[in-house]
Structure 1
Amino acid sequence: MTHVNQYGQPVGVALPDWLPATFPPSIILAGRFCQLAPLIFEHSAALFAAFSQAQDDRDWTWLGASQPQSLIEMSNWIAAKLDDSGLVCYAVIDKASQQAVGAVCFANIDQQHGAIEIGHVTWSPLMQRNVLGSEALYLLIQQAFKQDYRRVAWRCDSLNHASRRAAERLGFTFEGRFRQAMTRKQRNRDTDWLSIIDQEWPQIQRALKHWLSAANMDDNGREQQKLRCFMPD
């Protein structure tokens, strides 16, 4: 539907009751297979062990940091995140092992306009090819909309095809590419932007809940139907 003002100009949908969103609280977000716990220095040893499961550092190619090579570097990596007041940082805790196996943050938190980004997604090999990563992101997106954000964004290096596929699989819509948006590790980076907005979330949330439910996925994370079978067209 087209909305026009008194001058006949097209304008955005009116939001007469809009109030700024709430800054995300640093709390535990619990799921079936993982929980997100506020990131702390005590996660250093478990995260270093988890990231050290990789045979090389290819998972860090598109990240801003390099893979920590010692426990001290791991602690420094955590410190850099905790020192950034613009981030709300979480460790992903595998409920089976009760160990931290990855990290993720809320970033670019714009309370005034109700926009927030999921960023600093750093999964260890212990989170790959299983349900942990998808559930962790579901918990974050769900929390963002609970705090009345209107837009949850995802951005990635345009050459990081796995990151874009992961976002689109969870219901994010590709919005466009910012060419030469930044430099990273002495290389050019074009940035792809994706998002989920509040009016889309109820259907996506329903799909994710059904996919993660005991009716579709057993306690070992084995699914009967793929997530795409539940997603809206």
Structure 2
Amino acid sequence: MNDLSNWQSCPNPENVTLKGDHVTVETWDRAKHQSELWAALDIEDANKLMHYFPQATFDGEEDFGAWLEKSNSSGAFQTMVFRSHEAGKLVGMASYMAIDAKNGSIEVGAVAHGPQMSRSRMSTEAHYLMAKYVFEDLGYRRYEWKLNNENKPSHRAALRFGFAYEGLFRQHIVAKGRNRDTAWYSMIDGEWPLCKAAFEAWLSDQNFDAAGLQVKTLEEIRDAL
């Protein structure tokens, strides 16, 4: 563990743009992003996509935008939206949450990937860029991923990205009139170099065949490294 005798607080996330090869991560701006983001998430059913979010279901775009704006203006969230380079449109979002700058801990949550992001390099690259910003630009020690324990896809995503399972908070909150047990995952700064190398190796063109299919999974690459 690093010597923390001279530890100082980390800065809060700022209004930034993070550019990758396939996706750009932009800081939420209601006037600029609300309609486009809602359209990306509501292609099939936005409320179904955000079923495991603890807040009530949305009546439509304005209700969604008001909730996201309130969450950001209160400091509870700093929402980042994902823009596809190929389509030029927004395709999803995630938020920095539970920001504890004093102790260098921050969460990524409120994750919603539109169907355009499903099983694509954009999804992995967006989370790589967000993690890289947290560890390398802001200097955080701990990056959290928390989820409703019933959300199996989110469990798989956390493990795939390299987060370590830490445990279960039983009867943690009441969400939408139901009990929620919350599973906790984290990635810490000492693990980031390995996770970063795996992300970059997986995202490289050499890891995809002529049909665009991955040669090795992210887990296989990380295990080999």
CA contact 1:204–1:232 (8 Å) conserved in 2: no
Counterpart of 1:23 in structure 2 is 12
Whichever residue aligns with residue 16 of structure 2, its letter is I
Q: Residue 102 of structure 1: SS of its match in structure 2?
A: strand
Deviations 1:181-208 (A, max 9, x none): 1010000000000001111110111011
Q: 1:43 to 1:220 in 2, by over 3 A?
A: farther
After superposition, residues 127-138 of structure 1 pair within 5 angstroms as 127-138=117-128
**Distance across 2 between alignment mates of 1:110 and 1:153:** 11
Cα RMSD of the aligned pairs, angstroms, is 2.1
CA contact 2:142–2:188 (8 Å) conserved in 1: yes
Counterpart of 1:63 in structure 2 is 53
After superposition, residues 83-98 of structure 1 pair within 5 angstroms as 83-98=73-88
After superposition, residues 1-233 of structure 1 pair within 5 angstroms as 14-41=3-30, 42-54=32-44, 57-66=47-56, 68-146=58-136, 147-217=138-208, 222-232=213-223
CA contact 1:40–1:78 (8 Å) conserved in 2: no
**Distance across 2 between alignment mates of 1:221 and 1:178:** 39
**Distance across 2 between alignment mates of 1:13 and 1:170:** 24
**Distance across 2 between alignment mates of 1:150 and 1:140:** 14
Pairwise CA distance, 1:221: 5.6
CA contact 1:203–1:232 (8 Å) conserved in 2: no
TM-score (normalizing by structure 1):
0.87
Q: Residue 54 of structure 2: SS of its match in structure 1?
A: coil
Q: How many corresponding residue pairs?
A: 222
Give the percent of matched residue pairs that are identical in Structure 1 and Structure 2: 29
Pairwise CA distance, 1:230: 0.8
Q: Residue 231 of structure 1: SS of its match in structure 2?
A: helix
Deviations 1:48-101 (A, max 9, x none): 221221157432221124554433234323322332213221111111111111
TM-score (normalizing by structure 2):
0.90
Q: Residue 223 of structure 2: SS of its match in structure 1?
A: coil
Q: Which has the higher helix share?
A: 2
Whichever residue aligns with residue 19 of structure 2, its letter is A
Q: Residue 188 of structure 1: SS of its match in structure 2?
A: strand
CA contact 1:131–1:221 (8 Å) conserved in 2: no
Q: 1:111 to 1:198 in 2, by over 3 A?
A: same
**Which structure would you say has the larger Rg?**
1
Structure 2 runs not aligned, ≥5 long: none
Q: Residue 96 of structure 1: SS of its match in structure 2?
A: coil
Q: 1:44 to 1:101 in 2, by over 3 A?
A: same
CA contact 2:82–2:91 (8 Å) conserved in 1: yes
